[in-house]
């Protein structure tokens, strides 16, 4: 793949990608169930399908920020690498399921022929992206991967996720000498798997801004509520920000400025990971948060500022959800524009005039702020 040596490391994004990840075939059914009721002529593609990722690849290759992108080939993770985050018995369960032709891991989460190889590629590609940053070959790396990973817990699959790509990358950073890593997850769903993996650690600050959806069953026992703060040494280092439906751009910007930025400033990480899902958008079938491109661009700008201040500009971006086949790519473009601090916007937003009313969201965010100020020890220092 062609590099862009004329670009400075702070003004390019190194994208790690492997087309083998497209071979994860999630099938058809009623939404994500995989079921055919027998009375519908046309079934949905599973929302986590390869089309969404194809458009993310194409917008970065042929879209307006293509000159700022450097492409790198991904790789498969070794089974031994998976054990830094996942339990050996769980990894073996996935290996055996693949040998037997597949398995329904939980609701909507299908390990089909080709899925395990794609999962290994997603994990290995994310590890390569993190190593690229750790080795100071680039400042900003983006792991453009699927299947997604942030719901995968050390011992079980969940929510379309088999291996926790971001969690593996965070552990690599710690094992490579980083003292503290901050993870900011903007996917519309709670990053429960990543939180679970570091729930007792004070070396990893996990922050998740998500729709207030609660638990959705045995595969996702965590609620994402504000009182899930961590345990033991990790108490206070898991910050959940459950946001009301329809929070929108101004609500998210207020949450970032009121809750996320101050927490990262207090934590002072030497590595930052942005877990990026575009399913918080106004078009997404899996979420109701009503972000548009301007909201994603603003989040990207704030994450870039935090990286420049605390991690010498180093930032790993890991792809998660985002299920509207076209608009997710637009929102990705806007996020990366914000991270690169490019202006003016390069693509017009097809729903740029979406109406907003953040008044209720602001009240919720203020109440979360009061709770965290009273209950999170490191924020009081």
* Tens-level pLDDT at each residue, the chain (381 residues): 334 435 667 689 999 999 999 999 999 999 999 999 999 999 999 999 999 999 999 999 999 999 999 999 999 999 999 999 999 999 999 999 999 999 999 999 999 999 999 999 999 999 999 999 999 999 999 999 999 999 999 999 999 999 999 999 999 999 999 999 999 999 999 999 999 999 999 999 999 999 999 999 999 999 999 999 999 999 999 999 999 999 999 999 999 999 999 999 999 999 999 999 999 999 999 999 999 999 999 999 999 999 999 999 999 999 999 999 999 999 999 999 999 999 988 999 988 777 889 999 999 999 999 999 999 999 987
162: left (phi over 0), alpha (psi -120 to 50) or beta: alpha
Q: How far is CA 225 from CA 241, 243, 352, in A?
A: 7, 10, 31
Distance (Å, rounded) from C-alpha 349 to C-alpha 366? 30
E strand or H helix that includes residue 276: strand 271-276
- Answer whether 283's CB lies under 8 Å from 331's CB: no
Distance (Å, rounded) from C-alpha 8 to C-alpha 278? 27
E strand or H helix that includes residue 253: helix 248-255
Residue corresponding to tokens 């339990």: 87
> Active-site residue numbers?
151
Q: Which of 149, 156, 188, 187 is nearest to 171 (CA)?
A: 149
Quick check: bond before 147 cis, omega within 30? yes
Full-model pTM: 0.96
**Class of 13-25+42-349+356-379 in CATH:** alpha beta
Mode of pairing for the β-strands spanning 44-45 and 28-29: antiparallel
DSSP letter for each residue of 210-246: EE-----BTTB-----TT----GGGTT-EEEEEE-TT
Q: Residues in the chain, how many?
A: 381
């Amino acid at each position: 793949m062609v590099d862009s040596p004329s670009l400075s490391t702070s003004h390019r994004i190194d994208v790690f990608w492997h087309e083998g990840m497209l071979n994860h075939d999630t099938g058809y059914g009623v939404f994500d169930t995989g079921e055919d009721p027998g009375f519908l002529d046309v079934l949905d593609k599973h929302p986590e399908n390869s089309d969404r990722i194809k458009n993310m690849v194409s917008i970065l290759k042929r879209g307006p920020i293509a000159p700022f992108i450097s492409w790198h080939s991904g790789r498969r993770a070794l089974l031994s690498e998976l054990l830094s985050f996942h339990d050996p018995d769980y990894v073996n369960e996935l290996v055996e399921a693949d040998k037997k032709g597949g398995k329904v891991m939980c609701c909507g989460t299908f390990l089909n022929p080709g899925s395990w190889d794609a999962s290994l590629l997603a994990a290995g590609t994310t590890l390569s992206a993190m190593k690229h940053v750790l080795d100071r070959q680039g400042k900003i790396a983006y792991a453009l991967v699927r299947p997604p990973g942030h719901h995968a817990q050390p011992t079980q699959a969940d929510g379309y996720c088999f291996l926790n790509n971001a969690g593996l990358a965070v552990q690599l950073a710690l094992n490579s000498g980083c003292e503290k890593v901050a993870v900011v997850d903007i996917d519309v769903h709670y990053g429960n798997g990543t939180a679970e993996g570091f729930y007792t650690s004070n070396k990893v600050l996990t922050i998740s801004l998500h729709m207030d959806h609660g638990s959705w069953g045995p595969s996702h026992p965590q609620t994402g509520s504000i009182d899930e703060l961590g345990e033991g040494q990790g108490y206070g280092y898991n910050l959940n920000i459950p946001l009301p439906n329809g929070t929108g751009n101004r609500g998210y910007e207020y949450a970032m400025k009121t809750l996320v930025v101050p927490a990262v400033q207090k934590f002072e990480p030497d590595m930052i990971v942005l877990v990026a899902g575009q399913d918080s958008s106004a078009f997404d079938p899996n979420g109701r948060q009503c972000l548009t491109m301007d909201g994603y661009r603003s989040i990207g700008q704030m994450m870039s500022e935090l990286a420049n201040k605390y991690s010498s500009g180093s930032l790993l971006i890991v792809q998660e959800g985002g299920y509207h086949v076209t608009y997710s790519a637009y929102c990705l473009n806007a996020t990366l524009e914000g991270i690169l601090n490019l202006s003016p916007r390069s693509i017009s937003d097809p729903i740029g005039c979406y109406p907003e009313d953040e008044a209720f969201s602001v009240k919720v965010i203020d109440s979360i702020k009061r709770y965290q100020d009273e209950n999170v020890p490191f924020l009081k220092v």
